[in-house]
């Protein structure tokens, strides 16, 4: 289940090593929400006069692809270890997450 796995997002947003960061969450779903919030903040920084932000999955994919590096570590209780996932996996989970949100 997407909602129950401790997840760490490793992200580098620019060529500067100082932009490396990690974010940890109690679920994959929370991690996807935060990636959306990071994207929204970036859009607002670029366009400070915008009142309402609207975007689609292609915009999020472009943001994810535009990061220098992004990956996820997801804890698997059965082996008591973190499993690594790449940006393609993050994009797949983002799509599933937004589909689920749209149905709610």
- Model confidence at 3, pLDDT cuts 50, 70, 90, reads very low
Q: Residues of the chain with pLDDT > 70: what percent?
A: 97
Does the 2-99 domain belong in CATH 3.30.2260.10? yes
Q: What is the pLDDT of residue 42?
A: 92
List pLDDT tens digits, range 32-80: 999 999 999 999 999 989 888 889 999 999 999 999 999 999 999 999 9
Query: Across residues 80-90, what is the average pLDDT?
Result: 97
Q: Residues of the chain with pLDDT > 90: what percent?
A: 82
Mean pLDDT of the chain: 93
**b/e per residue 1-33 (b: at least 16 CB within 10 A):** ebeebbbbbebbbeeeeeeeeeeebebbbbbbe
- Quick check: 2 pLDDT over 70? no
Q: Using alpha carbons, list the distances in angstroms from residue 1 to 14, 50, 96, 97.
A: 32, 36, 12, 12
């Amino acid at each position: 289940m997407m909602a129950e796995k401790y997840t760490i997002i490793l992200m580098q947003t620019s060529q500067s090593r100082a932009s490396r960061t990690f974010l940890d969450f109690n679920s994959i779903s929370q991690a996807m929400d935060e990636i959306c919030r990071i994207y929204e903040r970036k859009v607002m920084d670029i366009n400070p006069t915008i009142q309402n932000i609207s975007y689609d999955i292609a915009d999020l994919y472009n943001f994810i692809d535009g990061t220098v590096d992004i990956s996820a570590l997801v804890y698997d209780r059965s082996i008591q270890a973190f499993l690594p996932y790449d940006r393609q996996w993050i994009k797949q989970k983002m799509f599933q997450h937004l589909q689920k949100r749209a149905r709610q």
